Amino acid sequence: MSEAWLVVAIVGAGTIALKSAGPVLLGGRALPPRVMAVLALLAPSLLAALIVTNTLGGDREIVLDARAAGLAAAVAALLLRAPLLVVVAAAAVVAAGVRALGWLA
């Protein structure tokens, strides 16, 4: 087995161990309400951070391109309380339009 496959196996075993630790340690007990409140906010905040990082992040600089225009369109659609499908479509259309017109190289 090569070094790379050994690392993959070790990381996979560690992932399985971490994912199974919660149910094994907690069993059927419920978490305190304060912990549940934090966990409820964790996924949306991580998703927002990933979106902003992937949209605006460059090599140690902020990059404004078609992705930023698409994100702005999505935010505008969300503020107008549009359905999720409309939000995604608006972001895609605006980003594609900006790319097609050559704006924000």
What pLDDT, in 10s, does the model give residues 34-90?
A: 989 998 999 999 999 998 888 888 778 888 889 999 999 999 999 999 999 999 999
What pLDDT, on a 0 to 100 scale, did the predictor assign at position 26?
80
The angle subtended at Cα 74 by Cα 73 and Cα 78, nearest 5°, is 120
Give 30's DSSP letter: P
What pLDDT, on a 0 to 100 scale, did the predictor assign at position 62?
86
* Placement of tokens 């503020």 in the chain: 79
What pLDDT, on a 0 to 100 scale, did the predictor assign at position 80?
97
